[in-house]
Amino acid sequence: MTNVITLVPAEGRGLQVEYVESSDLPTPWATFRLHGFVDRTGGREHLALTLGSVADGEPVLARVHSECLTGDALFSRRCDCGAQLEAAMKRVAAEGRGVIVYLRQEGRGIGLMNKIRAYRLQDEGMDTVEANQHLGFGDDERRYDAVKPIFEHLGVGAVHLMTNNPRKVEALEALGIQVVTRQPLVAGANPHNHRYLRAKARRLGHWIPI
């Protein structure tokens, strides 16, 4: 007996995202519902956390977060990722309703090992964009296609998106997701990530007060 109950093809490149299963996920701030999805095209496993009734047709407070193992799980202060994830989960908990999609695209899409290579280059003086380029990658290799079928499966329509990243807003809107408002998500600035945040603001155009 399989747990796979839905197959949702997205528009465009014939992306196939399978919904696998859901469970409770108690956290310090709320007990979320945890939903598992597999992107059969890219072979990646993605997650979504929901709280409250997100399928009622009203815009939903939302975060689309890309995996950062070092920041999200290992407390790294090189970036702001873990602090942003925690802030987003707390905001959804405070609101009692919302969705957080956790996309498994580590290191802005270059993968964990290459992110460590990029960190080494940053230790030697490059900024986060230069390091990616030095390794032969683009500034940002992420794709957000999987978000559309995940939102469709969850019944999420329009969103209030928590992000400082203009490319993320553009990418979701290009998929047909209505971003009603952008909610700034500034958290986790510290002396170790000052250069990183400055590079995100200056090189990647993030709306971050520096």
Residues contacting 123, CB < 8 A, separation 6+: none
Give yes or no: 142 in active site.
yes
Task: For residue 168, say whether it is annotated as part of any ligand binding site.
Answer: yes
* 107 in contact with ligand GTP (CB under 6 A): yes
Q: How far apart are CA 14 and CA 10, in angstroms?
A: 6
* 84 in contact with ligand GTP (CB under 6 A): yes
The 3-state DSSP class for residue 129 equals: helix
- In the complex with ligand GTP, the residue whose CB is nearer, 68 or 179, is 68
Region 24-83 residues binding ligand GTP, contact defined as CB under 6 A: 65-68, 79, 81
Task: For residue 90, say whether it is annotated as part of any ligand binding site.
Answer: no
Decide the pairing of beta strands 98-103 and 44-51. Answer: antiparallel
Which of 35, 46, 108, 148 touches ligand GTP by CB under 6 A?
108
Q: Which of 40, 140, 167, 182 is catalytic?
A: 140
Tokens of 184: 């700034």
Residues contacting 32, CB < 8 A, separation 6+: 24, 25, 49, 50, 51, 89, 92, 100
Provide the binding-site residues for ligand GTP, judged by CB under 6 A. Answer: 65-68, 79, 81, 84, 105-108, 110, 115, 118, 128, 132, 163-165, 168, 185, 196, 206
Residues involved in catalysis: 140, 142
